[in-house]
Amino acid sequence: MAFVQATIDHIVIWVDDQLRALDFYERVVGFEGVRAQEFRDGKAPFPSVRVSPHAIIDLAAKASAPRVDENFKVPGTSGHPVNHICIALPYADYDALRKRVEAEGGDTSVGIENSFGARGYSPRTYYFTDPDGNVIEARYYDEN
């Protein structure tokens, strides 16, 4: 059997304050907001940020979790943060992100060397948290 090749379209993370989260992911992480103005204008239920041309992260309000449980008909699955999200960046962006996170008071001291991921082994990674406690891993790959 051949394996299906797919891409991740979106990931939903739970946040206490959607505008605070949007600001963090735009200003600190450097992702572009998606439907940000529509959200601010009350025309979209949540904002998102673009990770790549084909993937976004939705910033869902924790307060909406009970309604999401009802809609999915799987009680207890909503409102829980994921273990972590990993973003792969070119080295210059990886280094610049570390500096922005640290300038905001974030801790990037925890990391792994030779960490395996979707494209093989990354020489070095680091972890940090967003304002809602979601853990983000940043990594780069050698482009040899």
pLDDT in tens, the chain (144 residues): 787 677 888 999 999 999 999 999 999 999 999 999 999 999 999 999 999 999 999 999 988 877 776 766 666 667 776 778 999 999 999 999 999 999 999 999 999 999 989 888 999 999 999 999 889 999 999 975
pLDDT value, residue 30: 97
Dihedral, CA of residue 4, residue 6, residue 10 and residue 11, to nearest 10: 50
The pLDDT score that the predictor gives to residue 81 is: 65
Task: Classify domain 83-144 by CATH architecture.
Answer: Roll (3.10)
Query: Can you give the pLDDT at residue 10?
Result: 92
Q: Which fold has domain 1-80?
A: 2,3-Dihydroxybiphenyl 1,2-Dioxygenase; domain 1 (3.10.180)
Domain layout of the chain by residue ranges:
1-80, 83-144
Which pLDDT value is given to residue 66? 77
Q: Does 83-144 match 1-80 at the fold level? A: yes
pTM, to two decimals: 0.80
Query: What would the DSSP string read from start to end of 1-65?
Result: -PPPP----EEEEEES-HHHHHHIIIIII-PEEESHHHHHTTSSSS-EEEEETTEEEEEEEGGGH
